[in-house]
Every structure is written in C-alpha cells, then in structure tokens.
A and B are shown apart, each in its own frame.
Chain A
C-alpha cells in the first residue's frame, strides 16, 4: 500500500496495476481465500457504509470485472459443495 492506494505487480503477466482503496481491499480479501460476488459485496458495504448497500452489488460486479480483466483474479464456477 502506498498512501491509500495499492500498487500490485502481477508475476504472471509482469504488469503493474494501480488500485484504488476499494479494489485493494477486495483483492487482498480474494488473495487470502476464494470469495464470491456476494462476499465482495459485503466487503464493499463494510467499506462504503450500510447506506450504500444498494450500490454495493453493482460496484462489486464492476470491480470484479475489472480485476478479472486485469488478470489479477480468476473466475471459477462454484462447485456444488462450496459453502459461499
């Protein structure tokens, strides 16, 4: 983390990314354990506050899309025995 943003180096693509605070928190969570879109939404609600819950779902979807596009996250189908 540098100030409130994060600089991330992707060792597979050798690309460097500048992440805003929300993206940094989401990536940190996803790196520590696999998570679902709903899980990301809950993390964002914590960051943004309960009043922004309606926006959080949309925000989570677009953030995940950006992180997947940047190849920082990989999308996987939920397995039948997955808890999330």
Chain B
C-alpha cells in the first residue's frame, strides 16, 4: 500500500505506533512520528512510496516527537530520535519535515560506509548516469529537480551512491529539497511537479520538498552506469556555459564533495579513480534551466 493511499487517520496511527518502513533503494528507513501536522506534510511528498511493515532490517530508524521540557508550553518544538538517541537541538514544531530530511541525510552519511557517498545530485537517461557534485548553494538541487521534470530518472538530489563492487550508481531516492527562490523557480518551470508545504524561517531559509515521480520510485533498485560528471554552478550573469574540467581537478573536487572519502581510504581512492576515468567531466555555469538541460543532453549524446 502506498503512503498516499492511507486515510489521514490511519497514516497518523501507523506513524504514531510502530512506524512506517520506506525503501529508498540503497537504504531503508523506519519512520515513526508524533508531531502535529507531520503526517500531512509527509504524505504530500512520500505519497508514491510503498509503505512497508515496520518489521525487518532498517539502516535507520527515526522518531520525530514533541520535545519535552517547560519550553513546550510557549514555543512547541520537535526533536529527532535515531535508534534511541536524540539528535541535534530541537527544531520549532512546524519544521518537522525538514528536521526529518536533514536528520536522515546525516544518518545516511554516517552509516552507509559500504558505499562511496558523494554530495551530488544524480539523474539517469538511457542507462547513463549524470553526476552533479557541488557544494551547498551552487544550484545542484534546482538543476537536479529540473532534469527530473524533463525526462531524466531521478536517483538522488543529495547522495551519489557509488557501489564499490562495480562502480554503479545506486538510487537513494528521496524528495528533492528546494530552498528559497528555487521553490518558485521549479514550480514555474514544471507546474506538474508535486511540491510539498513550504517551511519558512528554517536554518536554510524557506524549504520545500519536491516528490519524486512514479517512474523514479518504481526503478529505485535499478542502478545506472556513470557516464558524465558535471559540476554545476548557478550564475546569474551566465545563461549557460560548458567547459571541460581536468580529470585530476575533478578527482579533487569529488573527494571534497564526498561524505566518507577520508574514512574509506584506499577503497574510496580506487572508486573515485575509476569513476573519473570512466566519465566525461565538465563544468557548467547556468541561469537558464532549459539551456542547461539541453547542454547536458548534448554532452550525454557525445557532443561537446
């Protein structure tokens, strides 16, 4: 049964008791929640996901709950508990979904050490994966969301999960986190995109999440072969400009944009070496999403 098929009361009951299991592809999470308004926000961005019974193995088990203490009487807060331990300082009660998403990002980055984890958006077209590594604020999630709304399969907007055994990219498919101006930009660019509620005044400004499409969800266990690495950078002065990037520089940038490169040592070195050697590598500055997508399609087709 998919999350969107639960009645509001049934969803609230499941989340508030044993929780709901979600399978993101490379990892599974059990989510429990007792936070006012969370179930509605959760359903709006996870409606297409199959909800599994909360039994079995989960990489992460998280519980969102109302924070205790005297503060709750004048400024309600929520806190995130992972496997019995409270993580982070409590958030305002109305920022439950961003707290869940950031908490899961943090936990995946810590726990999925059996894969190389790049800080990157990943999409796929015709079996070819496009990896978009970037620092926060570079327009990575915006471009990833735009590509996902123009025929590319979404694997992740946050994690480039590289399987050591064969270098394949694995989906870790979750809603795309859009921030500030990007929310309206994507809403205008792709009116069909399902964007959940907006959460103003978070630590990163206003945040909203775009639900993955059904095709991406149904194929969350299908890996993709790395073909193209594009380092994106939103630049209001540039409509769209593509330049080749040196592989050695790409190597450095990938390691800087990795969650666990330094922890994994030689295995990570070999994985990044293989990744860089097997991909064509470019820098992309853009302000026009349509032009940027056309440029990526051209690069995938072997035209640069």
Choice from B246, B262, B265, B266 contacting A2 with Cβ under 8 Å:
B246
A3–B248 CB distance below 8 A: yes
Does chain A have a CB within 8 A of B255?
yes
Q: Is B252 an interface residue (CB 8 A)?
A: yes
Contact (Cβ within 8 A) B276 A11: no
Residues of A within 8 A of B265 (CB): 9, 11, 14
Q: In this complex, which of A5, A7, A11, A18 has the most chain B Cβ atoms within 10 angstroms of its Cβ? A: A7
Contact B262 A7, beta carbon cutoff 8 Å: no
In the complex, A6→B266 CA distance in Å?
Answer: 16
**Does residue A29 face the partner (Cβ distance < 8 Å to B)?**
no
B251: interface (CB < 8 Å): yes
Whether A16 sits at the interface, judged by CB under 8 Å, is yes
Contacting residue for B247 out of A2, A14, A16, CB 8 A:
A2
| A contact patch SS | strand
B86 contacts A by Cβ under 8 Å: no
Cβ B269 vs Cβ A2 within 8 A: no
Closest chain A residue to B265, Cβ basis = A14
B241 to chain A, nearest CB (A): 21
A57 to B252, CA, bound (A): 30
Contact B269 A5 (CB under 8 A): no
On whether the beta carbons of B266 and A18 are closer than 8 Å, the reply is: no
Given A14-B262, A14-B265, decide whether A3 and B255 contact each other with a Cβ distance below 8 A. no
Q: Are B266 and A3 in contact (CB under 8 A)?
A: no
Nearest chain A CB to B254's CB is how many angstroms away? 11
State A5–B252 Cα separation when bound (angstroms).
12
How far apart are the CA atoms of A5 and B251 in the complex, in Å?
Answer: 11
Contacting pair A16 B269 (CB below 8 A):
yes
Query: Is the interface on chain B under 10, 10 to 19, 20 to 34, or 35 or more residues?
Result: 10 to 19
For residue B273, CB closer than 8 A to chain A, the reply is: yes
Q: Quote the shortest CB–CB distance from A22 to chain B (angstroms).
A: 14
Closest partner residue, chain A, to B264 (CB atom): A14
Task: Chain B residues near A18: list those with CB within 8 A.
Answer: 248-249, 251-252
Minimum CB distance partner of B276 in chain A: A2
CB atoms of B255 and A16 under 8 A apart: yes
* Cα–Cα, bound, A5→B249 (Å): 9
CA distance A2 to B269 in the complex (A): 13
The residue that B266 contacts in the complex, of A5, A7, A9, with Cβ under 8 A, is A9
Q: State how many angstroms separate the Cβ of A11 from the closest Cβ of chain B.
A: 6
Assess the B248–A6 pair: CB atoms within 8 A.
yes
Closest to A7 in B: B251
B residues lining the A interface (CB < 8 Å) = 246-249, 251-252, 255, 261-262, 265-266, 269, 273, 276-277
20 more A-B residue pairs beyond the given contacts A2-B248, A3-B248, A16-B261, with a C-beta to C-beta distance below 8 A: A2-B246, A2-B247, A2-B251, A2-B276, A3-B247, A4-B248, A5-B246, A5-B248, A7-B248, A7-B251, A7-B252, A7-B269, A7-B273, A9-B266, A9-B269, A11-B265, A14-B262, A14-B266, A18-B249, A18-B251
A residues at B contact (CB < 8 Å): 2-7, 9, 11, 14, 16, 18
Q: Can you name 30 A-B residue pairings with CB atoms under 8 Å?
A: A2-B246, A2-B248, A2-B251, A2-B273, A3-B246, A3-B248, A4-B248, A5-B246, A5-B248, A6-B248, A7-B248, A7-B251, A7-B252, A7-B269, A7-B273, A9-B265, A9-B266, A9-B269, A11-B265, A11-B266, A14-B262, A14-B265, A14-B266, A16-B255, A16-B261, A16-B269, A18-B248, A18-B249, A18-B251, A18-B252
The 7 closest A-B pairs by CB, nearest first: A5-B248, A2-B247, A9-B269, A2-B248, A14-B265, A3-B246, A7-B251
